[in-house]
Amino acid sequence: MTMLKEGRPTAPQAVIEADGAPATATGNRALMLEEALIFEIGSTETTGVDFAQAPKVASRLGSLARTDSIGLPGLSEQETVRHYTRLSRQNYAIDLGLFPLGSCTMKHNPRLNEKVARMPGFADLHPLAPQSTVQGALAVIHELAAWLVTLTGMHSVAMSPKAGAHGELCGLLAIRAALEARGDARSVILVPESAHGTNPATAAFCGYKVEDIPATPDGRVDLEALKARLGPDVAAVMITNPNTCGLFERDMKTISDAVHAAGAFVYCDGANFNAIVGRVRPGDLGVDAMHINLHKTFSTPHGGGGPGSGPVVLSEALTPFAPLPFVEKQGNGFVLIEEETAQEHHGATFGRMVAFHGQMGMFTRALTYILSHGADGLRQVASDAVLNANYILRSLDDVLDAPFGGSGRACMRRCSATRGWPRALPRSISPKG
């Protein structure tokens, strides 16, 4: 399989003629409204916010008062609401319909999640507030962490990574710290050529040389080629499972055993965890580290490009190297383990990855989603996602050539967005009607 690495052309191939409709004075066409830039419609003298009068004081700004024009246009409140409402209508989104992306799990974003995240007890909480005043927040982190550990069959979870790629970084830093702790310098990370671009980028950032793992013609990791390449210079193998072609890596356990026998670690990209949650635990497959995209599997909104959240579940071997900070239950309360307390019991930690404790606003949403589904509902999610994906695959048999789905194999392509389908939709996109 050859990946397209050049991106697609953005220059127009040919100017497309308008549909023949007459030009309008505003540029608007029916309900499609043109919208200017704020820099064209706003003014530096306009504001949509009223403040109390500032008391008169002697300035303490020294010689640093800003006297230049900043150039920030303002709009009144109603102009602001119109501007952004109009712009919102130029987006496609999950709320408008199916989003069958090949590179990301897209699913319904429950509004209860939004309501919960906005409770003042979560939304209006300072990250450095005294721990006695944030016990409920620490409880949320602890409760979500327990779910993630149980659902994945792993040993622990690092909650602070801010997104999937940041989680990859967390996993590889833990692996590198573990190798260094045993005095075992290794230089290579093996990545399938179908892997998401963040995988090789992360490995390179951590100072590793990246080598491709070849794929078999049926779209999976070539086990024999992988085994042949393993050796004392290989630090880890990064595998996406279910993989980017939508297939479960059948040989995952054999791969893990071979990787471990060679003294290396298994990093799993959990971008497609949605398809197996409650049905397969990565811990049972020999995975050492896996990030979980809360904005994919656990329904926190994509927001047009973030914020994400990428907790990383870790095996027992990697747990001592987990990043700071983390939450521990002590007695009846919860304690945030930061730099000073870490020295006593967690001296092997590879350090801190973010200023504070991770994406709390995503934790509250993900926990709300998880509690809404429960153990039975989460398993049903994976079942329905895989059912939907295979139904689509079969429905498209006559019009598309499925490169890897032939010969009666089942796929696990990430069709979690289908969970948000109206029931009629599968029939409506089926070419056979």
Partner 1 sequence: MRYLPLTDTDRQDMLSVIGAASVDDLFVDVPAEARLSDKIAGLPDHASELAVERHMAALAGKNLSAGEAPFFLGAGAYKHHVPASVDHLIQRGEFLTAYTPYQPEIAQGTLQVLFEFQTQVARLLGCDVANASMYDGSTACWEAIGMARRITKRGKAILSSGLHPHYVSVANTMAKFTGDALEHKAPTLDAATDIDALIAGIDKDTSCVVVQYPDILGRIADLTPLADAAHAAGALLVAVVTEPVALGAIKAPGAMGADIVVGEGQSIGVGLQFGGPYLGLFACKQKYVRQMPGRLCGETVDAAGKRGFVLTLSTREQHIRREKATSNICTNSGLCALAFSIHMTLLGEKGLRELATLNHALACQAADRLAKVPGVKLLNDSFFNEFTLVLSKDARETVRNLADKGVLGGVSLGRLFPATPELGHGLVVAVTETVTADDIDTFAKALEEELA
Output the smallest distance, CB 155 to partner 1, in A.
16
Half-sphere exposure for 2 (CA within 13 Å, toward CB): 3
Output the smallest distance, CB 262 to partner 1, in A.
20
Residue 214's DSSP bridge partners are none
Closest to partner 1 by CB, 99 vs 326, is 99
Output the smallest distance, CB 202 to partner 1, in A.
4
Out of 39, 217, 332, 401, point to the residue binding partner 1 (CB under 8 A): 39
Q: Which amino acid is located at 152 in the chain?
A: T
* Interacting residues with partner 1 between 241 and 280 (CB under 8 A): 247-250, 252-253, 276, 278-280
Cα-based distances in Å from 291 to 188, 213, 268, 269, 312: 20, 20, 7, 6, 4
Output the smallest distance, CB 362 to partner 1, in A.
6
Binding mask 173-202 for partner 1 (x = CB under 8 A): x--x-------------------xxx-xxx
CA distance 294 to 162: 10
Output the smallest distance, CB 332 to partner 1, in A.
12
Closest to partner 1 by CB, 46 vs 428, is 46
Told to check if 75 binds partner 1 by CB under 8 A, we report yes
Reported as type and span, the H/E element at residue 82 is helix 77-88
CA–chain centroid gap for 249, Å, is 21
Told to check if 415 binds partner 1 by CB under 8 A, we report no
Angle at CA 325, nearest 5°, toward 260 and 238? 25
* Interacting residues with partner 1 between 302 and 321 (CB under 8 A): 302-309
* Interacting residues with partner 1 between 359 and 398 (CB under 8 A): 359-362, 364, 367-368, 371-381, 383-384, 386-388, 390-391, 394-395
Q: Which pair of structure tokens corresponds to residue 89?
A: 């209508």
* Interacting residues with partner 1 between 133 and 152 (CB under 8 A): 133-137, 139-140, 143, 147, 150-151
Task: Quickly tell me which residue has 């100072």 as its tokens.
Answer: 207
Residue 211's DSSP bridge partners are 190
CA distance 239 to 255: 10
Closest to partner 1 by CB, 227 vs 379, is 379
